[in-house]
Chains A and B, each alone.
Chain A
Amino acid sequence: MMTSKSGFNTLVRSSPYIMMALLVIPVMGGLIAVVLPAFGWFPVLGQTQFSVDGFVDLWHTPGIGYMALLSVSTSFISTVLAFIITILILGSYFTSPWLSYIQRLLGPILVIPHAAAAIAIGFLITPSGMLSRLVSPWLSGWDAPPDWLYPHDAMGLSIIVGLTLKELPFLLLMALGVLAQPELGHTLRAQHRVALSLGYCPMTAFFKVVLPSLYPFLRLPILAVLAYASASVEIPLILGPNSPPTLAVAIMQWFHDVDLSLRIKASAGAIVQIILTLLLLLSWWRLEKLIKILSQTMLINGKREYAGAIMQNITHVITVVMISTIGLALIGMMLWSVAGFWHFPDVLPQQFVGLHWQSALQQMHTPLIDTVLIGVCATSLAIILTLFTLEAEQHTSKKVSRLSSVIIYLPLLIPSIAFLFGLVWLFEQINSHHSFINVVLAHLLFVLPYVFLSLSGSYRRLDPRFSAVAASLGASDAKIFWKIKLPMLLAPILIACALGLAISFSQYLPTLLAGGGRINTITTEAVSLANGGSRRTSAVYALVQMFLPALGFLLAWALTGLYQKSSLDHTNKEAHANTLN
C-alpha cells in the first residue's frame, strides 16, 4: 500500500517534467538540426563552413517577397475572419437554442482533416465544380466549364476561404468549451442577463459584458490557429496559387527537391518562416492591446445599442451561407465517391456505382489499422501525461508556470515545417528502425497540446471540496485521483480522447517524415491519392478520413451517456435499498 502510494506520488511529481521534455527536446532538437544547415553546415554535401549563402539564395529567389506576403496575408485575414465570425455567432445566438444546433453542425468540421476539407472546397469553387454546375447552363449559359482562376487565385482568396472554414469551428468549440465550464459559464450568463435587464441589446451585452471575460481564454487557441495558418501546407497546396506559392509550400518543395543543395535554402526558408510566424503572433498581441485601449471608453459609455439588429441579420446570412457551403461540399464529396462518369454541366452523375468504395476498401485495411493504432497510442500517452501533470499541479497547488504553459503550445506555435525535417534527422541518430514508435512520438507532439488544452479547464475547475472531504475521511491522493476525480471527469476525458484521436488521424507531414514512408495512414494515402488523377478515389478516402474521427466523438458521447445512466441507476438502486432498509 505504502509503495503504491509513493509510487503514484513519484509518478505524478515527475509527469510535468516528462511532458516538458517530450515537447521541448524534439522541437528544439529539430530546430537546431535545421538552423545548422541554414547557416551552411551540411556535411553530406561537403559543406562544413558556416555561411549565410542559404539566406542570400533565398533572397534571390524570384517572388520570395510575394511568397512571404501571401503566407502572412492569408493567415492573418483568415484568422481575423474566423475570430469575428466566431464572436458574431456567439453574440447573436448567446441566449438562443440555435447555438447548440450550430455547434452540432460545425463540430464535425473540426475533425475533418485539412486535406479533405481543401479537396471538398476545391470541388465546390472549381470551374467544373458544384456551384458552377448548379447555375449551368440555364443561368450562366456555360456548356463547358468557364476558364476562371478559382481556386489557385494569385491573391490567395481560396486559401482564405479554406482556412477560415477550418479555423472557425475550432475557435467556436473552444469558446463554447469555456462557456460550458459551470462556474464561469454561469457567471457570464448571469451577467449577460443583468445587462439585458438594464436595457442593453443582446449583441451589445455580449460584446460589453461577456467578451472581455471570454477573450483571455481564447487567446492561446487563436494564436495557435494563426501560427498554424501561417505555415500550413495542405490547404495552400490544394487551393493556393503556385506561381509563386506560399512560403511554407515552397520550403517543403525545396526540401523535397532532387537538387540536394536546395536543402540549405530550404533550411534558411524555415528560419524565415519561424520569424514570420513570430512576427504575426507579436502583431496580433500588439493589436489586441491597441483594441483594448481603444475600446476602454466604449465599454463603459453606457450606450445600449450599436445596430444590433443589422449585425444579427448579417450573422444569420453568414451562418446560413457557411453551413450551406459546408453541406454542399460534403454532398459533392459523397456524390463523387459513388459517381460513374459525371459530365459537365450535369448536377448529378449519369450513373451511380459502388466500384470506387469497393476497390478502395480492398486496399485500405492495413492503413486503417495503422491509423487507429497510432491514434490510440499517441492519445493514451497524451491523456495519461496530461492527467498526471494536472494532478501534480494540484499537489503543489500552483498553476503550471507561465513558461511551461507556453511550452505546451510550442509544437503549435512553431511551424512544424521548420522543425520536422530536423526531427527526422534526430530520430535517425537515435532509433531509425522503429518507425512506428517514431510516428507515435511525432503525433504526440501535436496531440498533447490539444488534449491538455481540452482537459485542463475541467480539471482545474473541479470543485476542490470533493477532494477535501475525501482526504478528511482518510483517502490517499491516489485513491482520490482514481476513485473521485477521474469518474467525475469522465465526460471531458472522453472528449479529450476523441479530440486527440482526431488530431492524430489528420497528421500528414509528421506521419510521412517520422515514418519514413513505411507507415501509411488513411491521411497519407488520401493526400498521395489527392495528388493522383481520380476525384472519385480521393472522395472515398476523404470521407473515410472524416468518418473515423466522427466515430471517436460519437463513441465519447455515447459512453458518457451510458456511464451517467448507469451511475444514475446505481444511485437510484442504492436510494431504493436505503428506503427499504
Chain B
Amino acid sequence: MPKALEVTLPSDREVRVVRSFNAPRQLVWDAHTKPALIQKWMLGPPGWSMPLCEMDVREGGRYRWRWRSDEDGKEFGFFGEFKHVNAPSKLVHAEHYDPGDVGGAMDSSEPAIITSEFVEANGVTTLTVTMLFASKDIRDGAVSTGMTDGMEMGYVRLDERFKAEAA
C-alpha cells in the first residue's frame, strides 16, 4: 500500500514525515506549490479553513499561510521564505509560526527549515518532509504546543510500536 504515513525522529532537532500518493510527481508538486490547490486540502483541524495562501515559489520568494476557525474566527498561520526550489523534486523553505490570536508562540526568531522531497516510482510519488528546528528544545516545544504543522506526530511511530508490543 502506497498510502502509509510514516513519522520518525531522525535526529534530536528533526521530525520527518513520509507519505506516498497514487499520482505522478508533477501533480503532487503542483498540489504543494499552487495556492488554489493547497487551499483545497491543507485545512488543518476540523472546522478550520485556509482563507489565506500566498506563495511566490522561487528562491528568495516569500509565502504566507493562514487558517481560520469557522466557529470563532480565530486565526493562526505560518510565513517564511523559499530557500531552494527545484521543481518538481525538491523544495526547501524557512518557516516562522504566526500565532495570530490562537497563541502558542515559540520563544525563537529562528525559523524551522522544511525540506520537501518528491520521488516518483511506478506511478507512485513518495513525499518526504523533513523539519529541522533551531534546537531540540524548540522542536520539543513545537511538538508540545501542537500548533505547528502536525509535527507532534513525531511520536506516533513510537506509539504504534508500543501498541504493537503491548498487544
Q: Do A and B come from one complex?
A: no
List chain A positions with a Cβ less than 8 A from chain B: none
